[in-house]
Amino acid sequence: MQNQLIAEDLIRFVKQSDNVPNARWFLRKIEWAWSLRCAGKPSDRHSLILDVASEVRVSHSLFKSGWNIWRVDFSSESAEQARKYGPEYRAHIVIDPSQPKLPIRKNLFDAAISIGPFDFKFLDIDILLEETKAILKIGGKFVFSLPTLKSPYYNKNSKQKFRFWSPKDIAHIIQEWNAGDIRRVNIPQPSWVYSRIGHTSRIPSSVFNAFITKPISYLCPIFPNRYASYVIFSFFKKSDP
């Protein structure tokens, strides 16, 4: 039963529906946009990026940017969804999220990205970090996002199912990487948005684009850590262990 629920969550996550424009939805769009900005453009037509179970919109954006994508999914069902709705992948691998070992040779990838899966409690983050570190080339980077306790999705029900990162948790994951430079982008919590445009679930897209996208994009790099609803990290690999 538990495995079935996990599989259903993964299927829903891979191909998400377009919600009615609201603060949560546009904050997620900012999360994706900044994550892709952190991933950057490929250096040449041979550049490889590993997409670790991100929502397929991320995969499409990477493909359009010119990346050669290998993808990892955590169930055969979610992998099927990714193949159906995602772009063309150079390779596609399914692994166990409780033991996320990557059957990939070391020092192969120029970059890796994982936008969303760090929410999942069933994913062993420590193993995934070590495995991702190993498959990156020297100078390669791993871009991923973390929802904090200030996330708009955080409540007494969701915290039983999903992982939300406290400052202590984030400090631990930084310490665990210990392989090179780290860069951080903070995405403001919704209260910042609501204080300017009002707390409502239905607001025209034009209003959001005017009052959220540009101001939040501008503020993200300097927004205080304690108020961030999402944190996007770029972990760079400086050397092999």
Q: Per the domain annotation, does 52 fall within a domain?
A: yes
Q: Per the domain annotation, does 241 fall within a domain?
A: no
pLDDT(27) > 80 = no
Q: Which residues contact 123 (CB under 8 A, 6 or more apart)?
A: 74, 97, 98, 100, 117
**Unique residue bearing structure tokens 């944190």:** 231
pLDDT of the residue at 57 = 87
91-134: pLDDT as tens digits: 999 999 999 999 999 999 999 999 989 999 999 999 999 999 99
pLDDT(207) > 80 = no
The mean pLDDT of 216-227, rounded to a whole number, is: 75
pLDDT of the residue at 239 = 82
Strongest mean pLDDT among 66-75, 175-184, 204-213? 66-75
Strongest mean pLDDT among 2-11, 85-94, 180-189? 85-94
Cα three-residue angle 240-177-174, rounded to 5 degrees = 155
Q: Per the domain annotation, does 143 fall within a domain?
A: yes
Mean pLDDT of the chain: 83
**Total tally of structural domains belonging to the chain:** 1
- pLDDT band at residue 50 using 50, 70 and 90 as cut-offs: very high
pLDDT of the residue at 151 = 85
The mean pLDDT of 31-53, rounded to a whole number, is: 94
**Which whole-number Å values give the CA distances from 34 to 16, 62, 113, 186, 199, in the listed order?**
19, 13, 12, 10, 24
pLDDT(197) > 80 = no
Which range of residues forms the domain containing residue 96?
2-236
pLDDT(62) > 80 = yes
* Residue 11 neighbours by CB distance under 10 Å: 16
With helix as H, strand as E and coil as C, how does 7-46 read? HHHHHHHHCCCCCCCCHHHHHHHHHHHHHHHHHCCCCCCC
Q: What is the CATH number of the domain that holds 77?
A: 3.40.50.150
pTM for the whole thing? 0.86
pLDDT(2) > 50 = no
Residue 62 C-beta-side C-alpha neighbours within 13 Å: 33
pLDDT(22) > 70 = no
